[in-house]
């Protein structure tokens, strides 16, 4: 189920005291009370029917189902063929899984032991929330007249998180945190003595001190950090980082350690390295970049071939195992890029100064050097530590100008690199790489962080030039380490892997695409080729953005591992991340492993590296979610200024609550709620991705073009409410 189909909580905090005063009994509670009050007694089934006044086949069937749940949860047990008594409270047939909390009414549990996720009603979660590891049982439930599988949590094994971010509401007797996270559907009760100076309307971080085991109770917590006034730009950016458990600052001892690192490059160090300082070298990065990870050098050889050096900041020369900076980098695992700022993995003295390949300075690098002919065939390769001197710092825009005009400093070299990059790219696509092009939204912000404008970033040849040579270095480093065996087994290496897509998901997507008149052939042996053909066919169509995003969702997620599983999207048998050690810890690990093998040292134990790969993958996911949240926040803030303007958009999701519309001009997504579709009563046809009018039979289908206006925005929830403009005659 997609995020678009997930419900939210109410706008107002709930009164914890009034909730606690309400009795909450269920049939199941009454059965348990009986068995707990008379633990040694055996109850025949017929006696239980009489005690609870169960009559009729439907009631008996439900009653049997409840008894079965209690047996599986270990709370009661069979005593003979048709009798029961109090159990040992140890669940039989219990499975382990992770909660995916969808909305206030139910959740799903994802378990490796089951083929499909199990739906669990909120009252059966035992107080578990999104991300918690739990033990649960599965039983047969009823939905209408249909029997289906349901679940019940019997034990919370591990809480995913104990701190939450949100806005503080305070009354005369108590306070509540209204959490920012959409998957936290309970407000957190805070006693007046636990506010620690926080005031109403502020964004704060709260630590949960008490977790209830029933769904009608609220967690209780204490304010541990005050972020600032809700709605202020810096407050909200810090709140997003805190929401995802990501740090915003470095501790003082780490900063102090970074200041002690010497910037002097000694003659002894230079002597250990291959010297590229006299060879034409430059960087190409975003206009506002400060951390320059990579540089390219180019030299025409006497045989007519080209020596291309891909030079990467030698971070591990400065950051050594055992240092506090190393420990912090390992924990953070990645830099985080919010809409207006970078939260670096390493302190700025390293990321922006010592390691950054700034122009007109000698810099220490770790390099992959290739001899290429004019057709981009690799004639030789070399890996090792180097020293460079960048002659120029290009922005993507200035490099693109050289490509388009052929004029400017180093324009000839840039165009040679561009020609070689295009040939490398053509070979990748010929070998089965997928040519997805995602749309990136960028903002123009004022000094206070308020969005003045929004535009869609386009990737041109200058971007693709750098990408292609980074892909080449990452691929060849991975191949070198894989093949350079020091024993019977292949050497340990950090791989970036991307599994093949699930064929069933591809088939489902193919069926959906036919609704737009597009055909995607599902050929197990040529999936990449078919996808590329499909992407080419939909280019320029109104539904391109929707279909491409849905196609991406059918793909497996890329991750880090020590297993050489290959990269499906790039069509590489071996692929690593080597080219961004300033902002990615896996690249630092790759650097150390490569140097280990260049020094002919044996392969290390795989275990610690695999654990760090898993951690890095998890941190990468959190960083991406935080980035999306910051973009969404600015989109909502930007759309507050829309006034009565009409926007053309495409229906990007349909749910029982309404339909989501992605606006073409701004790439912002909002919802037209069912309650605002006043021309008819609409029902969800989930199978066909559409809403159908009960009287008029008018339909709104995923992918349809519609016109909308902004009705309301909610910065706290990062949501945009839209109204449909059905009469376009006046436009």
Domains defined for the chain, CATH in brackets:
13-157 (2.40.50.140), 163-230 (2.40.50.700), 252-498+561-625 (no CATH), 503-555 (no CATH), 640-724 (2.40.50.140)
Predicted pLDDT of residue 409: 95
Cβ-count burial 618-649 (b if 16+ within 10 Å, e if not): ebbebbeebbebbbbbbbbbbbeebeeeebbb
Q: How far apart are CA 305 and CA 385, in angstroms?
A: 23
pLDDT of residue 5: 36
Question: CA–CA distance from 605 to each of 295, 460, 489, 490, 596 (Å)?
Answer: 32, 42, 12, 12, 13
Predicted pLDDT of residue 487: 64
- Per-residue confidence (pLDDT) for residue 2, from 0 to 100: 37
Provide the pLDDT for residue 120: 87
pLDDT at 1: 39
Predicted pLDDT of residue 460? 93
Residues in the chain predicted with pLDDT less than 70, given as ranges, are 1-26, 80-81, 88-93, 139-148, 486-487, 524, 727-731
Question: If you compute the radius of gyration of the chain from its CA atoms, what whole number of angstroms results?
Answer: 30
Token reading at 225? 């950090």
Q: What is the pLDDT of residue 36?
A: 83
**pLDDT at residue 716 in the model:** 81
In this structure, how many other beta carbons lie within 10 angstroms of the beta carbon of residue 263?
A: 9
Residue 199: per-residue pLDDT? 94
3-state secondary structure of 552: helix
Average pLDDT of the chain, as a whole number: 88
Distance (Å, rounded) from C-alpha 132 to C-alpha 420? Answer: 49
pTM of the predicted structure, to 2 decimals: 0.83
3-state SS class at 528: helix
pLDDT of residue 99: 92
């Amino acid at each position: 189920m997609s995020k678009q189909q997930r419900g939210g909580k109410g706008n107002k905090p709930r009164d914890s005291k009034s909730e606690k005063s309400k009795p909450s009994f269920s049939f199941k509670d009454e059965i348990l009370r009986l068995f707990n009050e008379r633990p040694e007694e055996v109850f025949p089934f017929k006696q239980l029917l009489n005690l609870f006044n169960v009559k009729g086949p439907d009631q008996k069937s439900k009653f049997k189902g409840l008894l079965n749940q209690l047996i599986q949860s270990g709370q009661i047990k069979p005593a003979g063929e048709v009798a029961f008594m109090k159990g040992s409270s140890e669940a039989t047939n219990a499975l382990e899984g992770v909660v995916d909390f969808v909305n206030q009414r139910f959740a799903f549990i994802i378990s490796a032991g089951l083929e499909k996720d199990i739906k669990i009603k909120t009252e059966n979660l035992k107080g578990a929330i999104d991300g918690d590891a739990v033990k649960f049982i599965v039983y047969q439930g009823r939905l209408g007249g249909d029997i289906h599988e349901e679940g019940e949590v019997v034990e919370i094994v591990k809480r995913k998180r104990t701190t939450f971010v949100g806005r503080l509401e305070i009354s005369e007797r108590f306070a509540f945190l209204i959490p920012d996270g959409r998957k936290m559907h309970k407000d957190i009760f805070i006693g007046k003595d636990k506010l620690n100076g926080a005031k109403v309307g502020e964004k704060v971080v709260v630590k949960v001190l008490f977790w209830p085991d029933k769904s009608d109770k609220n967690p209780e917590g204490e304010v541990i950090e005050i972020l600032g006034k809700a709605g202020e730009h810096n407050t909200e950016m810090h709140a997003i980082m805190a929401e995802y458990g990501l740090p915003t600052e470095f501790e003082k001892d780490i900063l102090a350690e970074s200041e002690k690192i010497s910037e002097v490059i000694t003659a002894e160090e230079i002597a250990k390295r291959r010297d590229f300082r006299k060879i034409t070298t430059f960087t190409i990065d975003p206009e506002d970049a400060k951390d320059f990870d990579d540089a390219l050098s180019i030299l025409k050889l006497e045989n007519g071939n080209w020596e291309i050096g891909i030079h990467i900041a030698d971070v591990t020369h400065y950051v050594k195992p055992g240092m506090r900076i190393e420990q912090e980098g390992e924990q953070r695992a990645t830099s985080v890029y919010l809409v207006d700022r970078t939260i670096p993995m390493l302190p700025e003295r390293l990321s922006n100064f010592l390691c950054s390949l700034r122009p007109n300075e000698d810099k220490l690098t770790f390099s992959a050097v290739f001899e290429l002919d004019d057709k981009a065939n690799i004639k030789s390769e070399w890996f090792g530590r180097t020293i460079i001197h960048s002659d120029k710092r290009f922005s993507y825009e200035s490099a693109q100008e050289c490509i388009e005009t052929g004029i400017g400093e180093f324009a000839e070299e840039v165009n040679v690199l561009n020609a070689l990059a295009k040939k490398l790219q053509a070979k990748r696509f010929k070998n089965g790489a997928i040519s997805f092009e995602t749309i990136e939204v960028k903002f123009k912000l004022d000094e206070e962080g308020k969005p003045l404008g929004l535009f869609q970033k386009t990737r041109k040849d200058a971007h693709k030039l750098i990408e292609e040579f980074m892909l080449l270095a990452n691929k060849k480093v991975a191949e070198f380490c894989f093949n350079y065996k020091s024993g019977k087994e292949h050497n340990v290496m950090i791989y970036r892997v991307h599994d093949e897509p699930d064929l069933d998901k591809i088939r489902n997507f193919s069926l959906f695409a036919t609704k737009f008149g597009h055909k995607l052939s599902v050929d197990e042996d040529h999936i990449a080729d078919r996808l590329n053909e499909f992407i080419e066919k939909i280019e320029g169509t109104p539904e391109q953005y929707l279909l491409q995003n849905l196609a991406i969702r059918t793909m497996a997620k890329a991750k880090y591992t020590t297993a050489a599983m290959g990269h499906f999207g790039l069509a590489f048998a071996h692929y690593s991340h080597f080219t961004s050690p300033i902002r990615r810890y896996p690249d630092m690990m790759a650097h150390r492993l490569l140097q280990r093998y260049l020094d002919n040292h044996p392969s290390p134990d795989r275990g610690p590296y695999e654990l760090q790969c898993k951690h890095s993958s998890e941190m990468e996911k959190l960083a991406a979610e935080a980035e999306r949240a910051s973009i969404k926040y600015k989109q909502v803030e930007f759309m507050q200024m829309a006034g009565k303007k009409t926007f053309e958009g495409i229906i990007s999701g349909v749910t029982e609550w309404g339909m989501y519309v992605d606006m073409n001009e701004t790439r912002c997504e909002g919802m037209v709620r069912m309650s605002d579709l006043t021309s008819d009563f609409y029902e969800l046809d989930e199978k066909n991705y559409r809403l159908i009018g009960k009287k008029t039979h008018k339909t709104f289908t995923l992918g349809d073009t519609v016109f909308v206006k902004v009705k309301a925005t909610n910065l706290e929830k990062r949501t945009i409410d839209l109204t449909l403009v059905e009469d376009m005659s006046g436009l």
